[in-house]
Chains A and B, each alone.
Chain A
Amino acid sequence: MSDPINVGSVDAIDEGEAMVVPGDENGTGEDIAIFHAEDGNFYAINDECTHETASLAEGWVEGTEVECPVHSARFCLKTGAALCLPATVAARSHKVEVKDGEILLFPHAGA
């Protein structure tokens, strides 16, 4: 577990929106999307849809799920689990904490 990355104020991501922390900044080599879900919490999963090529940060957030903007696979923001076809593989999930109004990302590398 590496040190957390302060990705900015909670105000930086509106509810239902997401922000991408590029792979070369988060240290895992893979882009990570941080979502402000409709339950008010922040969650982080790998940005790339596990089905084909698409950014989940550009997807449709509903509740604590995101729907891929290209082929409509849905993922659980809390766990990264693939909830429907065409995706069958989970997106890697990362720990997020909010401290003093700042979003802290704990990138989790490896399988």
Chain B
Amino acid sequence: MNPASVLVIGGGLAGYNTARELRARGYAGALSIVDPAPLPYDRPPLSKEYLLGRRGVADIELSPAAWFSEQGITLVTGSVVALDAATGTVVLENGQTLNADAVVLATGGSARRLPIPGARDPALFELRTMADADRLRVALAPGIRLAIIGAGLIGAEVASAALELGATVVLIDPIDPPLVPALGPELATRLHLMHADRGIEVLTGLPVEITAEGPVRTVHLESGRSIEADAVLVGVGIVPNTALAETAGLETDNGIIIDPHGRTSAPRVFAVGDVARIRAADGHLERRAEHWENARNAGAVTAAALLGQNPASPGAPWFWSDRHGVHVEGVGDMAAPGTSVVRSNPDGSQVVFRLAADGTMAGAASIDGGLAIRAARRIIDRRIVVAADLLADPAVDLRKLAR
């Protein structure tokens, strides 16, 4: 479409990388990012190194302020409250209006609230933004009792960090072990057991109410068990921030509906990242992808579409998690039909490969697997058929199998 001006709403990774890719692809028109935060920053460290105080604000900014000036990218600090999809005009909460040929919605998601009494207590913690992390960091004094509801990526990572900061941690999830769809049962089990090994109390149960008495919160489980805590973090996923798109009349369905190139139902408007949901060419709605890598790739795909270019296909989806000193990675689909092959390395690290019936690889997951996931990604993307016994043998160089 080659717009003369592009306005990106949301300065998370997806919005930032849309702008970055536009410039990298030669776009010379006007380009702005609107976000409440003054500078775009990277979110994965918020539950790890930033929370631990080992990396500061400047370390997690996606680029320094000078880079945006050099690139001719205007950063507008504020929140968008209205969008006119037909004209590309947006209104900020301070009344300022901005207009562009093309608008990219990168509004992300908000922490999901539990549908139980007490869940709207403002004293509860969630972790989506730098401000959330700062508030949690202040609360995590040594000796405090932290209850975490949800043992997925954020819950598990904060449990690990909080333990390091001296908190007493209880980790609650209705499913034991969590993350089986992402990692397969072998590694999900091993990872979940690590929490108890390090001194975290792990409870399997469904919270039904959170009550307050002074500064203390009590999480009540369906089983009748109750857990007293000085701080409660809820990490049970996100809801997409679709309100702006909805009031603008865009098509939404648990996300802003886009085509595989980021185009919404309005010709001037695109959407990227956590908030976007792809309708595939055959008409079916895909699941929203909420991982870091999707946000990065979506920025590239949409920048290319805005300029009438064809981006490289992103390939199999990938994510990582760091907790208790181990590095976890997954690529592709570990829940695909097929069989699993485990490779146990002499150093204790493990990789699990998911093989489809035709011998191609559907997914792989690892704990401290080094290059295994890089090999697996290529085996998946290149549709290489690999023998299960070679995958299982730690003496076989996976790099050779991927070429």
Residues of chain A touching chain B, judged by Cβ–Cβ distance below 8 Å, are 16, 52, 58-60, 67, 69-72, 84-86, 88
Are B371 and A88 neighbours in the complex by a CB distance under 8 Å? Answer: no
> Chain A nearest CB: distance from B323 CB in Å?
14
Q: Which residues of B contact A (CB under 8 A)?
A: 13, 17, 20, 42, 49, 62-63, 67, 292-293, 296, 318, 320, 327, 370-371, 374-375, 399
Contact partner of A69 (CB less than 8 A), chosen from B13, B42, B292, B370, is B370
CA A52 to CA B375, docked complex, whole Å: 21
CB distance from B380 to the nearest CB of A (A): 14
- Find out whether the CB atom of B371 lies under 8 angstroms from the CB atom of A60: yes
| A94 CA / B62 CA spacing, docked (Å) | 26
Q: Which residues of A contact B67 (CB under 8 A)?
A: 88
Contact B17 A67 (CB under 8 A): no
Alpha-carbon gap, A16 to B370, bound state (A): 15
**Top-8 shortest CB links A-B:** A60-B374, A85-B296, A60-B371, A69-B370, A88-B63, A69-B371, A67-B374, A70-B327
Give 26 pairs: A residue, B residue, CB < 8 Å, sorted on A.
A52-B49, A58-B370, A59-B374, A60-B371, A60-B374, A60-B375, A60-B399, A67-B374, A69-B370, A69-B371, A69-B374, A70-B320, A72-B318, A72-B374, A84-B296, A85-B13, A85-B17, A85-B20, A85-B62, A85-B296, A86-B42, A86-B292, A86-B296, A88-B62, A88-B63, A88-B67
> Could you say which residues of chain B place their CB within 8 Å of the CB of A86?
42, 292, 296
A60 cross-chain contacts in B, Cβ below 8 A: 371, 374-375, 399
Q: How far is the CB of A17 from chain B (nearest CB, A)?
A: 10
Most chain-B Cβ atoms within 10 A of its Cβ — which of A58, A59, A67, A86? A86
